[in-house]
């Protein structure tokens, strides 16, 4: 019997069942594949019906800021040429004969900036455009322009570039002096090349300095996310005003970013636009922090201000009557917190301007007037550190062994006892002790005499010279 007819009948039956099954599947089901909100012409209600009004208002405010300010934020891309280090061959005098001179590579980098004028002036970070061979700027409408470098200031990390365009959108500058911790902070930029990225956080702190990032520091700290590519972009308040220039992050931590206050940046980029460089005020002193020990030794109630450890001969401070050992407590009515604060205020006060300074001297406050000079004209003092031979003998009450410097200007620390008072205070071998309790110590005999007058438990103020720097130390005899 031929089996094929049975197989044919079986296939026909299976096919018929499949058709029936598929026909059933093609019928419309009463269960929808997904739920769509009735806020979008759907039938389902939103999971949360009553959203607090303040949350909706905040959300709308952020959206409005993005729409208003983003058009004035630009994407900056640069190309620079850097030397390639060849550690195995660079020292070989025949290397350049074979390879035709120093080898270089082209580096590309990304950053952000913001338009401050309708004719194309853009503020950014100096490190974004420094040493760039070419600079391209892309606007929010995706138009790309070649930019020219106007000027940069590496001490504050601020630079200005310009594109040839007209009727451009611009930012509005706010007042960074009014910022307080806890206020909203919005950052807009191009992190990792992602155009027009907006992040939101708060002002974490203001007045951050001594970070080792720039020469002049007064950073705004924020937890609004700042990533590579955000550098040079604006930090905004809830009014959409620029209050800072995003500059740096702490790589080891999250939510720690720093921005240059716009009030500090304005005079800098204004000078860059006007003349391509920055001029800063100069007093003609070297200064150091006032520690608790130094404050008590000088009779100052609080450890604030900047202690003058040297006055440059012929400089503005010398002409104004400042002395070594003065503590500068205020400049033009602003209380001085520390040396970095004084440095910023003097730099911003202006060249040729007369500044009013308050100093603490011999237990009382004095008012002096000083005409600030240009920092670029400051004398470059150079003094080689004198070689010192280790002396022989017994250490004094401070744990020091000293010998004559040879120039009648102090005694050289030949050795320092590791567990001595001087070592704890930070005095090092090679330091030249110039005075003890403001009494000159031109030689070892005078040094011993002055030191012998101090009783146990008394405080000492020691002025020492280390290289080109003069430093005060506060010690207590045990």
Catalytic center residues? 127, 157, 231
Tell me how far CA of residue 177 lies from CA of 118, 158, 304, in angstroms. 26, 19, 21
**Residues 408, 272: Cα–Cα separation, whole Å:** 47
**Residues 368, 82: Cα–Cα separation, whole Å:** 49
Q: Which two tokens stand for residue 370?
A: 């000083």
Q: How deeply is 142 buried, as exposed, middle or buried, from its count of CB atoms within 10 A (0-12, 13-18, 19+)? A: exposed
User: Which of 223, 355, 220, 224 has its CA nearest to residue 283?
Assistant: 355
**Residues 313, 68: Cα–Cα separation, whole Å:** 54
Which residues are within 8 A (CB) of 147 and not within 5 positions of it... i.e. 6 or more apart? Answer: 76, 122, 135, 136, 137, 161, 162, 163
């Amino acid at each position: 019997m031929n089996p094929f007819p049975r197989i044919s009948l079986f296939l026909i039956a299976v096919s018929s069942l499949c058709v029936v099954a598929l026909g059933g599947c093609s019928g419309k089901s009463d269960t929808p594949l997904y739920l769509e909100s009735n806020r979008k012409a759907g039938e389902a209600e939103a999971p949360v019906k009553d959203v607090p009004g303040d949350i909706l208002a905040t959300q709308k405010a952020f959206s409005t800021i993005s729409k208003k300010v983003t058009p004035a934020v630009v994407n900056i891309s640069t190309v620079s040429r850097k030397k390639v280090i060849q550690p195995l061959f660079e020292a070989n005098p025949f290397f350049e004969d074979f390879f035709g001179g120093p080898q270089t590579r082209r580096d590309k980098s990304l950053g952000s900036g913001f338009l401050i004028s309708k004719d194309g002036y853009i503020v950014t970070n100096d490190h974004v455009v420094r040493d760039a061979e070419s600079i391209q700027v892309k606007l929010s409408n995706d138009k790309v322009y070649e930019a020219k470098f106007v000027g940069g200031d590496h001490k504050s990390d601020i630079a200005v570039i310009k594109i040839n365009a007209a009727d451009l959108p611009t930012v509005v500058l706010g007042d960074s002096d009014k910022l307080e911790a806890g206020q909203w902070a919005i950052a807009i930029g191009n992190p990792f090349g992602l155009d027009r990225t907006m992040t939101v956080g708060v002002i974490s702190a203001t007045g951050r300095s001594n970070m080792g990032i720039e020469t002049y520091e007064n950073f705004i700290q924020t937890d609004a996310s700042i990533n590579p590519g955000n550098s040079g972009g604006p930090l905004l308040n809830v009014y959409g005003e620029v209050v800072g220039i995003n500059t740096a992050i702490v790589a080891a931590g999250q939510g720690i970013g720093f921005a240059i206050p716009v009030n500090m940046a304005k005079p800098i980029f204004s000078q860059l636009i006007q003349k391509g460089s920055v001029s800063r005020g100069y007093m003609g002193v070297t200064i150091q922090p006032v520690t608790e020990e130094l404050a008590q030794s000088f009779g100052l109630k609080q450890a604030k201000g900047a202690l003058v450890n040297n006055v440059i001969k012929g400089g503005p401070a010398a002409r104004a009557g400042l002395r070594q050992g003065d503590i500068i407590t205020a400049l033009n009515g602003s209380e001085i917190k520390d040396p970095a604060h004084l440095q910023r205020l003097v730099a911003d006060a202006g060249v040729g301007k007369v500044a009013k300074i308050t100093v603490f001297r011999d237990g009382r406050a004095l008012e002096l007037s000083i005409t600030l000079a240009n920092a670029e004209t400051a004398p470059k003092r150079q003094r080689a550190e004198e070689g010192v031979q280790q002396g022989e003998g017994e250490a004094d009450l401070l744990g020091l062994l000293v010998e004559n410097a040879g120039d009648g200007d102090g005694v050289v620390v030949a050795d320092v006892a590791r567990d001595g008072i001087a070592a704890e205070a930070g005095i090092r071998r090679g330091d030249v002790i110039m005075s003890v309790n403001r009494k000159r110590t031109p030689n070892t005999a005078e040094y011993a005499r002055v030191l012998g007058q101090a009783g146990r438990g008394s405080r000492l103020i020691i002025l020492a010279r280390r290289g080109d720097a003069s430093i005060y130390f506060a010690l207590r005899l045990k």
